[in-house]
Structure 1
Amino acid sequence: MKIAVIHGPNLRSLGKREPEVYGTDTLEDINDHLQKTANELGVEITVFQSNHEGELIDYIERMAPEVEGFLINPGAYTHTSIALRDAFVGVERSFVEVHLSNTTARERFRRHSYLAPVAAGMVYGFGLHSYLLGLQGLVAKLQR
């Protein structure tokens, strides 16, 4: 089984950017932990990061034939991108939305996700563990 992991905008600056909100783990730390968890689960992951909405959509469309599902932290596109939502609907692959912070406890505009209604699930508020729990949940769902 192969899962595509997608990191959205501004996630390359993790570890430095607002550590009181996002923690001190870097994107590399998260990817290392994801790889370890993937190995334990017996699945392959491929990782992609972009700050650009169109590149994220192109990646989803390009990878869909090669993967069974997606794990995505869409960053701020969560609250703005109908195009990302439509990309996932179009490729007909299960995906889990993850966030490092508890988005429902933050500013009002961060409480809405365009992706949530079409996601297999969401995990948020647990820092890097949001990614690991999301990967575990996605794999369990796909193995049913």
Structure 2
Amino acid sequence: MNYQIDFEPVGRRVQVTESVSILQAAQDGGVGLAAVCGGVGTCGRCRVQVLSGQVSPPTPAELGLLDADELAAGYRLACQTEVRSDLKVHVPPASLTAPQRLQVEGRELPVAPAPPVNAHAVRLSAPSRTDIRSDEARLRAALPAPDLPVDVA
């Protein structure tokens, strides 16, 4: 049977089959959940909170690492908890491998563009026998400001 897991506040939705661990689902969905012990249930770093849905009963490893209040609040070890229905899972910041970066507000400052390179469209007259200047000299004379640096490479 296929189930859907929503990882909050990460914003990922993963499709899984029954009896897959939450940790495996997170890894398959690109959610960076910490699992220092490799998913054997000894470190407690993959702690998540199951907000809704049905999961497997707590394992002895979970009973040793989580107290009764945490279990009552829905906290589980992702590596030890198997999916039994659609889930909504909250991932605390401490359980992520990298801190989540999210900017929700900020200041907009007026910034005038000042690129290090500017292009100027210049039309030069064809060289003639009366104007014996080089192409570079004629180009510099046609620019809007005589002191602009020119790279003719």
Give the TM-score normalised by the residue count of structure 1.
0.28
Give the TM-score normalised by the residue count of structure 2.
0.27
Higher relative contact order (CA 8 A, sep 6+): 1
* Structure with larger Rg: 2
